[in-house]
Chain A
Amino acid sequence: MNRFNVRLLVAAILPALGGAQEAAEFFRQNCVSCHTIGGGRLTGPDLKDVGQRKDPAWLTRFLMNPQGMINSGDAYALQLQQQARGVVMPTVQGMNKARAEALLGLIEAESKLEKSQFIGLQISDRPFTGEDIEQGRRMFRGTRKLLNGGPPCISCHTMKDLGGLGGGRLAPDLTRVFERLEGRKNLASWLFAPATPTMQPIFRKHPLDANEALLLVALFEDSAKRGGQDDSVALLNFFFLALGGAVIGLAACDAAWKRRFRAVRRPLVRGMELTR
């Protein structure tokens, strides 16, 4: 093979390799919180051999606009939604025809492997201990730092019996998230690659490790057993603490400027007149 042909071959192979890598990275960032390839069902179906269940054209259309397919009354799309307990697959940012086709190519290639790299988080099924729950609680509250530098759950989430002024309320109460996501495997996969638009950009760069996900699952399993949800007393305490602080602040301002000019100009002008 002469030098020219080698160059042609490299030029042909490199984009394909790059495309496969890009598709794998895209799948890792956007799909693994709900799907595995050969690891069983999570929120969404196991995608192993999905190309044998539906033709590529239909799959491409569905990947590009899942909500649209459901709204159009497509029977298979509606069946998928029903199997996912009503959860509609989000339209993934950056999805287009070329990317959808690359993803289907990736799924097909991974399906042929004995063990896909997207088999999902293989989480231990050992019984949780009190220490696991305590470590999970510490991670939730932020007193145990996350290995890859992610923010603690308390920033945005609350749960029952957290103590103090409770947790954040930007995102849902996680007391019963173990029930909502139906168990250890689904929840751990979600934690490992959260698919919400707010969490995804953060945890893409600062993912939890498998052990951290396991410890948080231990906490959530325990809290789901206890039941209930966080009440609003902590929120009221927060408000009244701040209100009290503001009243004290106003009183402090009044006291600190006790000898302030009640009228700035009049005393000054009067002072000037007296000195004339």
Chain B
Amino acid sequence: MNGSPHYLDELLFAVFPYMAFFTFFLVTIQRYRMQSFSYSSLSSQFLENQQHFWGLVPFHYGILAVLTGHILGFLIPREVLLFNSVPLRLYFLEVSGLIFALLTLVGLCAAIARRLSESKIRRVTTTSDWVVFVLLVIQVVSGIWVALFHPWGSSWFAATATPYLWSLLKLNPEIQSIAAMPLAVKVHIVNAYALIGFFPFTRLVHILVVPNPYLWRKPQVVRWYRRAGA
């Protein structure tokens, strides 16, 4: 038993997050200023639409619900603990969280399978897309692993990870409780920083420019512009 964080823990939980967020803000702003039209993911109209549904819908609804849970745990930890003080509510929250995590995994697998099986889609897939897929798979699988083998995350996240995250925000990292966490939890956290750092280099930037009118406007035919001979 050793209470002192290892140097590697210092690097991963006290230095790496700042590097990731610095890269995130710097490159995101720079990319928006220099290549604002790249702030999107490609239209799927010319591509495959059958498998697309099973990648698109479960993944997006799953990840949005799971992310919302994490954000609530960060913003209102005391209220989350209060909600969980009735075991039935704790179990409801945890089962719901795992359901959405499994939906995310199903969607992610479907999206990867679609990219591997459709030549049209493979042609518009870049190296950064594959890196994002690898990072997302690690993130989702480690998250499910943590949910299953180290429950109840909604409570202990509020009690241990939230103070750590706030300490980062206050520029005074307190990593003692995180340094003692199981490996799967550490992988989940470090990989999240990797995703944040890599985010501005990928099509994930579409999260920052969500086209809300798509929810109510009628579908439109998209035309791809290509120069003659290109």
Contact = CB atoms under 8 A, between A and B. Distances in A.
The 9 A-B pairs of least Cβ separation, nearest first, read A155-B155, A242-B98, A197-B180, A245-B99, A246-B102, A265-B45, A151-B159, A142-B85, A90-B3
A76 interface: no
Nearest to A165: B91
Interface residues of A, number: 53
Contacts of B163: 201-202
A154 B95 contact: no
Contacts of A143: 85-87
B99 A242 contact: yes
Interface in B69-120: 78, 81, 84-88, 90-91, 94-96, 98-103, 106
B162 to A, nearest CB: 11
Interface string A169-183: 110000000000000
Given A91-B4, A262-B49, A272-B221, A151 B98 contact: no
Interface string B129-171: 0000000000000000000111111011011100100000000
Contact of B2 (A67, A163, A261): A67
B84 A145 contact: no
A155 B84 contact: yes
Given A164-B91, A268-B221, A272-B221, A197 B3 contact: yes
Interface of B: 1-5, 44-46, 49-50, 53-54, 57-58, 61, 78, 81, 84-88, 90-91, 94-96, 98-103, 106, 148-153, 155-156, 158-160, 163, 174, 176-177, 179-182, 185, 219-222
A249 B103 contact: yes
B177 A201 contact: yes
Nearest to B61: A253
Interface string A73-106: 0000000000000011011110000000000000
Interface in A40-82: 67
Contacts of B57: 253, 257
Interface string A135-153: 0000001110100010110
Given A246-B99, A268-B221, A197 B87 contact: no
B91 A91 contact: no
Contacts of A263: 49-50
B215 to A, nearest CB: 14
Given A67-B2, A242-B99, A93 B219 contact: no
Contacts of B152: 154-156, 167-168
Contacts of A109: none
A243 interface: yes
B10 to A, nearest CB: 11
A235 interface: yes
Contacts of B221: 265, 268-269, 272
Contacts of B45: 264-265, 268
Contacts of A200: 3, 176-177
A249 B86 CA distance: 25
A159 B87 CA distance: 14
21 contacts: A91-B4, A93-B176, A142-B87, A152-B155, A154-B90, A164-B87, A196-B1, A197-B179, A198-B180, A202-B160, A202-B163, A238-B148, A242-B101, A249-B99, A257-B53, A262-B50, A263-B50, A264-B45, A265-B49, A268-B220, A268-B221
